[in-house]
Amino acid sequence: MDNPEAGQPTADTRPLPINEVRMFAEALEAIRSAYVQDIDDQTLIEYAIRGMLAGLDPHSAYLNANDYDSLQESTEGQFGGLGIEVGEEDGYIKVITPLDGSPADRAGVMAGDLIVEIDGRPLREMIVNDAIEMLRGEPGTTIDLTLMRNDESEPIDLTLTREVISVESVRHRMLEPGYAYLRIAQFRVNTGEEVVKALETLIENNGGPLNGMVLDLRNNPGGVLEASVAVADAFLTDGQIVYTEGRMNESNETYQATASDPSQGVPLVVLINTGSASAAEIVAGALQDQGRAVIMGTRSFGKGSVQSVLPINNERALKLTTSLYFTPSGRSIQAFGIEPDISVDEALVTRSLERRGIYSERDLEGHLPGVNENSDREPSGPRPVTSSEQIVVSDYQLNEALTLLKGWHIMQRSRR
């Protein structure tokens, strides 16, 4: 999760370790004097800074001018490439999630895949930013990926075509009368505003308050911290959303919900999976701890750190992990994730949508006639496919969420 406007850190008053600085200077001089090729000092210093940051954690990095531009493009929602959010794990490049509708998504790249080769070049021990640079390129050009997947014994080879990736942050639709679906693909600067507008549209289209809503955060890699706070605030009227702790004064923040309620208290199920990371986990954790939503799906990714962009000279910057975030109950989800309230694995449901061979008492020859026998008899032949049945086949987790909301509504109605 990025904090793109962190500014300069508070100065550390400890003296520089003279012996270690001297050792670095000696190493630099030895490389300048003895390395087989002549390398300019700026390049060597950049290599050293990259190495320092790469040794800290998978999310800290040195950003040259091109890297910084790419970071801004990704948070603003448009860039060229394959649409893959990646990180580093045990020296390999790991897919956090493919972005909705991207070339990677359409080709079947999945969260958790390890990218072991790009265009035949092994990626073992490659810096994440260098791998991202290889994945990006001119729209229309092709790239060959070799993936390893947990449940596959053989590598998976894919050829993809790069595109201009325009990430649609928020999508929404009605599942059925009274029941809405809200999908957040990534947390960008304006995502909170887009969610509020989507809620207003859904309630207006329904002609009043909704019976239930599914908030889909699956395969959401995160994004801007403030956007996740704004989204959680759209469903909460009071209480804490998240707090962060770090060594800089500005890294210690507490974010509270405001009294406004654009969701109008709609019963809520939040879908998460292993591709739900960072800002997505903040939203899920806040809504779970505050008892505002039922969290359904599989355990999330577990990225509980905040990265700040700290400018240095000549349009360069450090993307540095500066704090950890905690849910309202004090949980850190770093390397653990959000555990759903109801665990539902992804599943492919294969069944006919047409009514075939379904018999009841009234289909038996010579059955005793019933008083209401003909009041609800369906016409013969295949019946139209309902939206609920289509969801069963295309998205099992979504169907389970919708079923839970319907049962919730029936129980509440029966108590009135």
Distance CA 159, CA 142 (A): 7
How confident is the model at residue 31, as a pLDDT? 97
Q: Please report, as a single letter, which amino acid is at residue 274.
A: T
How confident is the model at residue 268, as a pLDDT? 99
Handedness of CA 408, 412, 413, 415 (dihedral sign): positive
Question: Which string of DSSP letters, residue by residue, matches 336-349?
Answer: T-PPPSEE------
| Total number of residues shown for the chain | 416
Other CB atoms within 10 A of residue 117 CB:
17
**Burial group, residue 64, by CB count within 10 angstroms (0-12, 13-18, 19+):** middle
How confident is the model at residue 272, as a pLDDT? 98
Query: Is 406 one of the annotated active-site residues of the chain?
Result: no
Phi, psi of 182, rounded to the nearest 5 degrees = -130, 120
Query: Is 303 one of the annotated active-site residues of the chain?
Result: yes
Contact 203, 264 (CB under 8 A): yes
The tens place of each residue's pLDDT in the chain, 416 residues long, gives: 666 545 566 667 788 899 999 999 999 999 999 999 999 999 999 999 999 998 999 899 999 888 887 777 666 656 679 999 888 877 789 998 898 889 999 999 999 999 999 999 998 878 787 888 899 888 999 999 999 999 899 999 999 999 998 778 999 999 999 999 999 999 999 999 999 999 999 999 999 999 999 999 999 999 999 999 999 999 999 999 999 999 999 999 999 999 999 999 999 999 999 999 999 999 999 999 999 999 999 999 999 999 999 998 778 999 999 999 999 999 999 999 999 999 999 876 655 444 445 567 877 888 888 888 776 655 544 555 556 556 656 799 999 999 999 999 999 888 87
Distance CA 357, CA 392 (A): 20
How confident is the model at residue 75, as a pLDDT? 64
Distance CA 297, CA 344 (A): 5
Contact 198, 172 (CB under 8 A): yes
Q: Please report, as a single letter, which amino acid is at residue 277.
A: A
Residue 315, CA distances (Å) to 44, 67, 318 in order: 18, 10, 10
Give me the catalytic one of 100, 289, 319, 323: 289
How confident is the model at residue 26, as a pLDDT? 97
Query: Is 289 one of the annotated active-site residues of the chain?
Result: yes
User: Which domains are present in the chain?
Assistant: 78-165 (2.30.42.10), 170-343 (3.90.226.10)
Question: Which string of DSSP letters, residue by residue, matches 6-22?
Answer: --PPPPP-SPP-HHHHH
Contact 127, 61 (CB under 8 A): yes
Contact 300, 333 (CB under 8 A): yes
Q: Strands 268-272 and 212-216: what pairing?
A: parallel
How confident is the model at residue 37, as a pLDDT? 97
Nearest to 181 by CA among 160, 165, 202, 155: 202
Give me the catalytic one of 70, 263, 303, 323: 303
Distance CA 161, CA 143 (A): 6
Residue 371, CA distances (Å) to 364, 366, 380 in order: 16, 15, 21
Strand partners, 316: 312
To the question of pTM greater than 0.85 for the whole model, the response is: no
Give me the catalytic one of 60, 278, 308, 323: 278
281 phi-psi bin (left φ>0, alpha ψ -120 to 50, beta other): alpha
How confident is the model at residue 246, as a pLDDT? 96
Distance CA 10, CA 143 (A): 43
Residue 139, CA distances (Å) to 74, 80, 109, 131, 158 in order: 16, 6, 19, 17, 17
